[in-house]
Chains A and B, each alone.
Chain A
Amino acid sequence: MQLHEYQAKEILNSSKVPIPDGKVAKSGIEAKEIASSFGGNCVVKAQVHAGGRGKAGGIKLANNPDEASEHADNMIGSFLKTFQSGDTEFPINEVYIEEASSILKEYYLAVTMDFDFKCPVIIFSTEGGMNIEEVAEKYPDKIIKIHVDPLVGPSPYKIRNLISVFKFDKEISSQLYKIINQLYGIFISNDCTLIEINPLALVEGNNLVALDAKITIDDDALFRHKDLLKLFDEAQINKSELNAQKNDLAYIKLSGGEVGCMVNGAGLAMATMDITMKAGALPANFLDVGGSASEERIMEAYNIITSDADVKLILVNLFGGILRCDVAAKGIIEGFKKYNKSVPMVVVLRGTNSEEAKNILKESSMEIYFSDDLPSAAEEINKRLGK
């Protein structure tokens, strides 16, 4: 789960990581008030779940409260699409009004999980403000990684080594040392998968502050963070994907596709998408109905796929294990009845109770083409779409 910048900064602030003064606003009037309290000079930042806001016009400087109000009014209610967000447009419902800072230098600091090393890693770079992948490619010597043994925490000597590589003076060193430890503490105690401060800015007065903040929480750990769960912003998620999430379905809409896929198991779902592509068509979605899907869940899956106007054909590929194919078949029929939407289907059913499932589907009035295996399903797709 991703947090908004202002939510992330509240967490940073409560752990004493220095941030500029700031407050969230839901209207131009609110923005004006907040800007006045900062003396006028401020930054208006769109609160959306996408990186690259600056280049997309989602971050504006204001020289006085009226300008802040104007920027806020322009942003709120509109949508933001950035180079990082692909085709998705994120609604701007809130802006963050932040005191303007005089920046002397920008750094990059992040804590994330290094799965190859099986431990958390602290990443620091002197090239702040840039995309870290780009820095890694262009200036690999300007990035330092500190791998952290979770039982030990960030070793002071490793942080000292980092500081000595970049020859920071005593005051900045001590600030950086503190911030790294604070971030690591936040990372572990909130089950984060990423905390990224880009940029961590050195501002007038020789102080380090977190100018931007991105925090992502491990979805699987949310059960023990009821407080964080409240920060979830439904508006930032595609409606179908949100509906899927509420029904325990793993669904991702893919742009430009025409074949809706309904599969059990993530690996088989990806394979089914690949097979669709090899058959000369494009998959419209990734959908894993999960291990022990109920009739209701399948019904919702049917609804989500058929609600996608791009879908011309559905490929159902179910391999019964824990999942019973007959239960899935009933779910499809129920979905068809309840939502009254029909799209031709190519169906491959194997494993637990697959014969019963075929009989159930055969009795319906739906347009269904059965295939015994995936190669013949691919041929059928080809034929049905006239490729």
Chain B
Amino acid sequence: MKSILNKDSNKVLVQGLGRDGSFQTQKCIDYGTEVVAGVHPTKAGENFNEIPIFGSVEEAVKHTSPDIGLIFVPAPFASDAIIEQVDAGIETVVCITEGIPVNDMLKVNNYIKGKKVRLIGPNCPGFLIPRKKLKVGIIPGSIVSEGKVGVVSRSGTLTYEAIVQLTMLGIGQSACVGIGGDPLHGTSFVDVLQMFEEDQNTEAIVMIGEIGGTREQAAAKMIKESISKPVVASIVGQTAPEGRRMGHAGAVITGKSALASEKIKSLKSAGVYIADSPTEIGLRLKELI
């Protein structure tokens, strides 16, 4: 399976064209993304800015052969949308929806195990590749610039913060990928780091982690073993109290390994450059290139 960074065809299907979904879909189109179909259970036969809306993903796939599925469906129905897209054979599924029950994502994760699909999210801002004029999700197109730095993050607006810092310093991005703030998610840091390592257009990597879980430690281990490109990382939540969920379902300190300090320690030992303050991500990267 080719990496999402290097696919030849990037036709997008959007499921869930409500208020936010419609607004964001328009932003994707404005940026240059090729949106070929919409899916809405009660709007079949209608159009969204000349894009046909179908009643099911299967129907939409039959007529428009999309490569990527983008989901804005409300949380109670979002896991079903993911499964519907997987069943219809869509290879890259990006789920923006926040607040999907853990049990639902448990089923999704088990269902997609071993299947030919890359799930990004849920509760994520999606991904954006400036070079391809491809924006799948909600990262603002106005702040990115084309270049050689790959950005990967668990957070939404904090990703924008990092992108802005890079752009202001004249450092463009090869791709920006938000993997989401939920504890049960599809694509992980490790997956995206691997993509950046293999991507000819990426020369350096920015990784933004946060408290909770052990995803950053897994990333550190992987960086040590198989990433040759320089990595700058920042971990937020150093001031967060223990045991409280900091907005993201996954951002809660339970046990030592969930602490920012522990994550920083393992990243440092893997040779990662740490931006002590989230304000220094861009500057830290500039020092390296």
Binding site for B on A (CB under 8 A): 86, 113, 115-116, 118-120, 133, 149-151, 188, 191, 193, 218, 220-221, 223-224, 250, 252, 254, 263-271, 273-278, 282-283, 286, 288, 291-292, 319-322, 350-352, 373-375, 378
- Other A-B contacts than A150-B107, A218-B102, A268-B158, 20 sampled, CB-CB below 8 A, are A113-B183, A113-B184, A115-B184, A118-B184, A149-B110, A151-B110, A191-B101, A220-B99, A221-B103, A265-B247, A267-B159, A270-B246, A273-B237, A273-B240, A275-B278, A286-B240, A320-B140, A322-B23, A351-B143, A373-B279
Say yes or no for B201: interface residue by CB 8 A criterion.
Answer: no
Would you call B24 an interface residue if the criterion is a C-beta within 8 Å of the partner chain's C-beta atoms?
yes
Residues B210 and A270 in contact, CB atoms below 8 Å apart: yes
Known contacts being A252-B241, A352-B140, A374-B279, is A321 close to B213, with CB within 8 Å?
Answer: no
A326 CB to closest chain B CB (Å) equals 15
CA distance A291 to B138 in the complex (A): 11
Chain A residue at minimum C-beta to C-beta distance from B237: A270
- CB distance A375 to B154 under 8 Å? no
Within 8 A of A (CB), among B96-117: 98-104, 106-107, 109-110
| In the complex, B244 has a CB within 8 A of chain A | yes
Instruction: Tell me, yes or no, whether B181 is within 8 Å of chain A by CB.
Output: yes
A378 to B109, CA, bound (A): 41
Q: Counting chain A CB atoms within 10 Å of each CB, which of B142, B158, B213, B241 scores highest?
A: B158
B227 located at the interface, meaning its Cβ lies under 8 Å from any Cβ of chain A in the complex: no
Give the residues from 204 to 256 in chain B that come closer than 8 angstroms, CB to CB, to chain A: 208, 210-211, 213-214, 234, 236-241, 244, 246-251, 255
Contact indicator B158/A271 (Cβ below 8 Å): yes
Contacts of B276 in A (CB 8 A): 278
Tell me, in angstroms, the Cα distance from A193 to B101 when the chains sit together. Answer: 10
What's the Cα separation between A22 and B260 when bound, in Å? Answer: 43
Which residues does chain A contribute within 8 Å of B92, judged by CB atoms? Answer: none
Q: Are A220 and B247 in contact (CB under 8 A)?
A: no
Contact digits for B19-46, partner A, Cβ 8 Å, 1 yes 0 no: 1100110000000000000000000000
Interface of A is mostly: mixed
A297 to chain B, nearest CB (A): 14
Report Cα–Cα, A120/B110, bound state, in Å: 12
Residue A291 contacts which of B20, B139, B183, B213 (CB distance < 8 angstroms)? B20
A374/B278 in contact, CB under 8 A: yes
Decide: A254 near B279, CB < 8 A? Known: A268-B155, A350-B164: no
Flag whether B262 is at the interface (Cβ < 8 A). Answer: no
Residue contact A274 to B236, C-beta cutoff 8 Å? yes
Which residue of chain B lies nearest to A375 when distances are taken between CB atoms in the complex?
A: B279
A352 to B139, CA, bound (A): 12
For A374, list chain B residues within 8 Å (CB): 161, 278-279
Q: Once the chains bind, are B20 and A274 in contact (CB under 8 Å)?
A: no
A22 to chain B, nearest CB (A): 27
Chain A nearest CB from B241 CB (Å) reads: 6
By a CB distance below 8 angstroms, the chain A residues around B236 are: 267, 270-271, 274
Expressed in whole angstroms, the minimum distance between the Cβ of B210 and any Cβ of chain A is 6
Whether B239 contacts A266 by the Cβ 8 Å rule is: no
Q: Complex: how many Å from CA A220 to CA B168?
A: 38
What is the bound-complex CA distance between A67 and B138, given in angstroms? 62
Complex interface: chain B residues within 8 A of A250 (CB): 246-247
Contact across chains for B102 and A273 when beta carbons are under 8 A apart: no
Residues of chain B contacted by A275 (CB below 8 angstroms): 277-279
**Does A221 contact B101, Cβ atoms closer than 8 Å?**
yes
Q: In the complex, what residues of B have CB within 8 A of residue A265's CB?
A: 155-158, 247
Report chain B residues within 8 Å CB of A118. 106, 109-110, 184
The contact of B110 among A150, A191, A277, by CB within 8 Å, is A150
Assembled-state Cα–Cα distance A133/B254 (Å)? 10
- Does any Cβ of A come within 8 Å of B75's Cβ? yes
Residues of B within 8 A of A116 (CB): 213-214
Residues of A within 8 A of B210 (CB): 267, 270
Closest to B142 in A: A351
Interface residue from B24, B98, B164, B278 paired with A271 (Cβ < 8 Å): B278
One of A120, A254, A352 near B106 (C-beta < 8 A): A120
Supply 26 A–B pairs (Cβ within 8 Å), ascending by A: A115-B184, A116-B213, A119-B110, A150-B106, A191-B101, A191-B103, A220-B99, A220-B249, A263-B157, A266-B246, A267-B210, A267-B251, A269-B246, A271-B158, A273-B240, A274-B237, A275-B279, A286-B246, A288-B247, A292-B19, A321-B139, A322-B138, A351-B142, A351-B143, A351-B160, A373-B165
Q: B170 at interface (Cβ–Cβ under 8 A)?
A: no
Q: State the CA gap A61–B49 with chains docked (Å).
A: 71
Query: Given A150-B106, A252-B244, are A264 and B157 neighbors across the interface (CB < 8 Å)?
Result: yes
Q: Which 6 A-B pairs have the closest CB atoms?
A: A267-B155, A266-B247, A265-B157, A267-B158, A221-B101, A271-B278
